[in-house]
Structure 1
């Protein structure tokens, strides 16, 4: 026989315990007496119950099964609920596996290489639910043939090279990428740095170049690993990226050159310490040097400057030693034995930074591609995109050129 007084006491006790159970991870009480369990049923119905952990994972993937003419840049799209993706396997028609990895947000799995044209691929994805059960989905698709129109690309970073601390990752597109298509392209441009120094991409107005930099110069010893995974990527107007490009490079010591028109001097520092000061002659009034922060883009022990094609009879053709390019328009640091008398006193060049042969030779031996050069006080401002100019603007301004959102706390 059920003890009525005992049952009432249990119900009252459970009713008092309900508010505590809502903020606790404790399990529901286990009743050993069937009479007690029956009497307590109305009170326990008020306890919150969670069945999420018991649900299996739901998984959907793309491309859709049987889809044809898929771009060779395709990713395996992933949508999962009540769990997470724990395995992705992509194989070609011969069963050969394709390497790849998940995006940070787990929205897709990116093949580590451009897929082959007119090839069947099978993707098998497994998701694991919170309760440990697994769900697997498969899809087989066929890639498209070779595209008729391709966008040419270039990567100004090379395997095994050591660069200066201001070296941006520079990617070139011919023809340029229109604004509406830049976000899709930018999502396929991957940069990894060790130690980690997050940055962002920023596009020039024409869309012919994109730069990647962090808020500050790279740390000495940084490894930069880049993959521009645009091979076969639809870029707009029927164009597709020509190929994937990649490089792994190092960052060297911090070497900076600062030129002041007021003093007609260049101050050279290495790792924060002044190592040399030298007189310079900058561009004369009719051909002023540009003021701004530039980067050494190219080094040539000997070259020929020839302006006769553009300037006609007023042009010149002369051999130049120890030339270091700063802009596309032709601003260099170089040896100028003909202007040593003017160096440190007056400006006589056609826009270049003239230094003596001995100073030019010394600099040439010390510098790396990617070393920063800042010129100030000439009255002529550097045009953005005239050279590798991402350091000539503030971080805020630079980030505005990104086609994708930039984290507010970055920089």
Structure 2
């Protein structure tokens, strides 16, 4: 008998092992390391507008605090996450300790500190101006206007912007624009949403701005009120006033006559005054000349630094809605002006259309008179703004 042996091979089949390899142990978590890299330990003459820089590995979270003569001061990360900004200006000529703390995955904290001394109080300073009043309710077009008091050197403007903080709740995209060498504005891409809280801090106290220093920090918090807009049409000689898109009133107006035309453009209400003295001599026209005047005008809303207002003009009621007779202002009846004055908020958008001239950049808060992409061009040599001549603003 012949026995045949047949060996069958499975094409790609391998016998299963009866053993399963044990998983490799997880690597231990990377240790956390922290350091304060700036200001360096023992540093002196440190700016009171300092930024704290740290090196942290092994975790993405950390906290920074300072301790000094006034007690602990919290620090918040700069929006670019490259540094930490103290929540308050530091004192001059004082010792501080900056401490960074981080906790690793093992729950163990790591800390590092740097002790330094701030600069002596500088001799050449300027007070920063801010157009917002703390607690105010503003219109949806309100820009943040910062006047540094003196011209800022070109190579210091980026450092200045790092110290100007605008936070909105709910958050809205915005950007900065230099209207002159000493004046920077901030506006959102789109008008502020009603109910938004805006918190502004100018952290410039002790900041070197090119041979002179900011005198002190400033801050304010405001709330955005109803969406109110004023639209003036020179063609119809009418102003349309809306709130949240609904028309509240249509008002007959008289604008600037051909020799002193009103400015077209996208403006905002800058200032409210129940009465003001309008004097033609402030812009070179003698009071006793044929075109001169000096009179008290009521229910005034300022639109430009050049002196264009919305106001009551009982002397031109017969012309309102028909023809232009003013020196450049928007005239309306006392009844309509009183109603509008009590309704209006600083920062309400005002659009004037169809006149012979366009408003000059910086003649008022002309932030909305350019597209947002152009607005964000904050290079070292911005076009000087007409706001520099505001000290002797003409009133028309």
Normalised to the residue count of structure 1, the TM-score between the two structures is 0.82
Match of 1:3 in 2: none
Q: Is the 8 A contact 1:201 1:211 kept in 2?
A: yes
Distance 1:84 1:376, change over 3 A: same
Match of 1:319 in 2: 296
C-alpha displacement of 1:50: 9.9
Between structures 1 and 2, the one with greater helix share = 1
Give 1:230's match in structure 2, choosing from 182, 204, 212.
Answer: 204
C-alpha displacement of 1:258: 0.3
C-alpha displacement of 1:100: 2.5
Q: SS of the residue aligned with 1:99?
A: strand
**Superposed CA offset, 1:116-149 (max 9, x none):** 1110011121234456554322111001111111
CA distance in 1, matches of 2:69, 2:108: 29
C-alpha displacement of 1:59: 3.0
C-alpha displacement of 1:264: 0.9
C-alpha displacement of 1:194: 1.1
What stretches of structure 1 of length at least 5 have no aligned partner?
1-11, 15-27, 32-43, 404-411
1:195-274 to structure 2, matched below 5 A, reads 195-204=170-179, 206-236=180-210, 238-274=211-247
Give 1:389's match in structure 2, choosing from 366, 375, 390.
Answer: 366
Q: Is the 8 A contact 1:296 1:369 kept in 2?
A: yes
1:272-291 to structure 2, matched below 5 A, reads 272-291=245-264
Distance 1:338 1:355, change over 3 A: same
C-alpha displacement of 1:93: 4.7
C-alpha displacement of 1:290: 0.6
CA distance in 1, matches of 2:21, 2:354: 79
C-alpha displacement of 1:102: 2.2
CA distance in 2, matches of 1:63, 1:373: 47
Q: SS of the residue aligned with 1:68?
A: coil
Match of 1:6 in 2: none
Matched, 1:72 2:64: no
Distance 1:270 1:402, change over 3 A: farther
Matched, 1:337 2:304: no
C-alpha displacement of 1:262: 0.9
Distance 1:29 1:243, change over 3 A: farther
CA distance in 1, matches of 2:16, 2:278: 95
Matched, 1:296 2:260: no
Give 2:154's match in structure 1, choosing from 179, 183, 186.
Answer: 179
Distance 1:124 1:60, change over 3 A: closer
CA distance in 2, matches of 1:105, 1:361: 47
Distance 1:50 1:348, change over 3 A: farther
Give 1:159's match in structure 2, choosing from 134, 137, 142.
Answer: 134
C-alpha displacement of 1:180: 2.1
CA distance in 2, matches of 1:178, 1:239: 10
**Superposed CA offset, 1:263-319 (max 9, x none):** 111111111011111111111111111100111111111110012242124331011
Give 1:111's match in structure 2, choosing from 75, 86, 91.
Answer: 86
Q: Is the 8 A contact 1:85 1:125 kept in 2?
A: no
Distance 1:186 1:13, change over 3 A: farther
What stretches of structure 2 of length at least 5 have no aligned partner?
1-14, 381-396
CA distance in 1, matches of 2:372, 2:379: 11
After alignment, is 58-67 or 151-160 more displaced? Answer: 58-67
C-alpha displacement of 1:188: 0.7
**Superposed CA offset, 1:317-347 (max 9, x none):** 0110111100111000011111111111111
The count of aligned residue pairs is: 360
After superposition, the CA RMSD in angstroms is 2.3
C-alpha displacement of 1:356: 1.1
Q: SS of the residue aligned with 1:234?
A: coil
CA distance in 2, matches of 1:243, 1:235: 13
C-alpha displacement of 1:242: 1.3
C-alpha displacement of 1:56: 3.9
Give 2:123's match in structure 1, choosing from 148, 159, 165.
Answer: 148
Q: SS of the residue aligned with 2:331?
A: strand
C-alpha displacement of 1:60: 3.9
Distance 1:247 1:394, change over 3 A: same
